[in-house]
Chain A
């Protein structure tokens, strides 16, 4: 199958500026989204994701402007997520030049939003983001074991990871696929910000369950982590932030490394 694995730098945007958090908290400022977008696109990024983490009400206008500026300079696709609650929010973002919108909390609160969006915009531009966290309580459906010890399952969390839902992530993924989601952006809250690698178990389980593309997210600290997630799961794309923002590596270096190690990559 000659479909290249995608490398997707992710940019968290707050009040129009790129920031990077650890474990969904402690936010550090990192810079201008348009400059990041241009740089990554030149380095060979296959796609970009912008997550708007702005809390205030003025977010809509600010983000529309960011989307417009980014869309005028780059010629690769990009997804925008964060704060998309209803159809009009999605339309605003798509009409400002984004290729896809990603919905998270709104999908959990109102699953009917998914078919509503796909019927108008097509399923390919609707990404459902799932933030999953290991839970050791008993009410999950799909259990995993860690070194033969404590059993855990993956719980869907919403509002940027702050609130639990009691929903099993694997069951939720199946449901959003059946509702028409075009792609899943899967973030492991446990791994996010640790820079110790993607959650392979979670990613593998979700990919085995679904027939739509999955983007792995959370935990990338080195090119090796991206290689690991591509070698050990059927995931279609790997999303990373800090290794690119803080210049630990560049997209072109990562891609060369992956290609050398037998991964099909667009270079």
Chain B
């Protein structure tokens, strides 16, 4: 019985994310606005649509609770802006990030590519032992919609990357912390496998 909570910090479009989790085997998916009201769950999803500063502002109240859940080892899937928020800061805003991971979020190379990066790009898998990328083929197509990307000195957490003017981190993985710059819930078959992989990690944690 895999119970997943999507943390709604006002980012919009949670419907298709919820549907994707349900389609791929989550038994119960709840959308919560208040981490304090969270009952026991097997996994948490931090969705990703919106702007950096408004998102950081709306997550402030529940920041400490989020840190505690991560410390407890609850698997977290952070998507796009959700992943960007985990880092120290972003060029999209002036607020401080959640500082859970070290690195910053910067704009894509303006002169080289069209911004936002919208569409299907393929991933280069750097670490085959990735839990999120189990059974995913190198070169799989995933769907991106973003203008900013993560830049970090800690390369070991980058388990897959994509080329868009420069190499951008596509999937971040550190223990039970998973981040994707693309949208797995919108990435067709490859995305569905990743969602199932995440759900498996969640159910194994029980």
A residues with a Cβ closer than 8 A to B are 1-4, 6, 41, 46, 68, 71-73, 75-77, 91, 94-100, 119-125, 182-183, 210-213, 236-237, 266
Contact = CB atoms under 8 A, between A and B. Distances in A.
A128 to B, nearest CB: 13
A124 B182 CA distance: 12
Contacts of B162: 2
Given A1-B164, A75-B20, A76-B188, A68 B12 contact: no
Given A96-B15, A97-B15, A123 B116 contact: yes
A229 B20 CA distance: 34
Given A95-B14, A213-B119, 13 more contacts: A2-B122, A2-B164, A4-B141, A72-B19, A72-B23, A75-B20, A76-B143, A97-B13, A119-B51, A121-B12, A124-B147, A211-B115, A213-B114
Interface range for B: 35 or more
Nearest to B15: A97
Contacts of B118: 124, 182-183, 213, 236
B50 interface: yes
A120 B55 CA distance: 10
Interface string B56-83: 0000000000000000000000000100
A91 B12 contact: yes
B163 A1 contact: yes
A46 B119 contact: yes
Interface of B: 12-16, 19-20, 23, 49-51, 54, 81, 110, 113-122, 141, 143, 145-147, 162-165, 183, 185-189, 191-192
B19 A97 contact: yes
Nearest 8 Cβ contacts at the A-B interface? A97-B15, A4-B120, A266-B141, A124-B145, A71-B16, A124-B116, A72-B19, A266-B120
